[in-house]
Amino acid sequence: MINKNKIRIALVGPCTAGKSTLKPALLEQGYIVRMPVQDHSHVPTMWKQLSKPDILIYLDVEAEVTAVRRPKNPSSPAYLAEQHRRLAHAREHCDFYLDTSTLSPEEVREKVLAFLGERQQGVMGHR
C-alpha cells in the first residue's frame, strides 16, 4: 500500500482559492503539504523548485468570488489576472485542477481527496 506520509503535495492557486483551508485537511490525512506562494513569485517554476512535489494541485477562483471570500481586502480583477499569469506554468503542469468558485470548503476537500484516492489506486494498480 502507498504510504501517504511519503507523498508530497504542492498547493498553488490565486489568493482566496482555498489553499489555506484545504491544507489542514490534507495534513490530517497524512500527506506532506507545501504552499509555495507561486501566485506571488515571478519565478514560473518556483512551485517545483521549493516543493519538489509528487502531486501538484491547482485551486482556482473567479474574480467576483474573491470579493465575497475576502470582503475587507478583495483582489482586483487586474491583480487576479496577474496572479493567473504567474501561475500559468503551474496550471500547465498540475496533476489536478479545481475551480473552487462555487464549492464549499467541504466540497473542495471531498473532490481533492477523491482525486488523491483515485491516484493512489492507479499507482497501486500499476505495480
Q: Is residue 51 part of a domain?
A: yes
Note down the domain range covering 101. Answer: 4-121
Give the CATH number for residue 62: 3.40.50.300
**Residue 36: is it exposed, middle or buried by C-beta count within 10 angstroms (0-12/13-18/19+)?**
buried
CA neighbor of 98 nearest in space, from 67, 127, 55, 68: 55
Q: In this predicted model, what pLDDT tens digit does every residue of 84-121 receive, in sequence order?
A: 999 999 999 999 999 999 999 999 999 999 999 998 87
Whether 36 is covered by a domain: the verdict is yes
**CA–CA dist 121, 35 (Å, integer):** 25
Q: What is the pLDDT of residues 14-63, one digit of tens each?
A: 989 999 999 999 999 999 999 987 656 666 676 776 778 999 999 999 88
The Cα 82–Cα 65 span in angstroms is: 16
Do the domain assignments include residue 8? yes
- Domains: count for the chain: 1
Q: Which residue has the cell 484545504?
A: 22
pTM of the model: 0.83
Whether 95 is covered by a domain: the verdict is: yes
- In this structure, is residue 127 part of a structural domain? no
Cα angle 91-101-119, degrees, rounded to a multiple of 5: 50
Q: Do the domain assignments include residue 126?
A: no
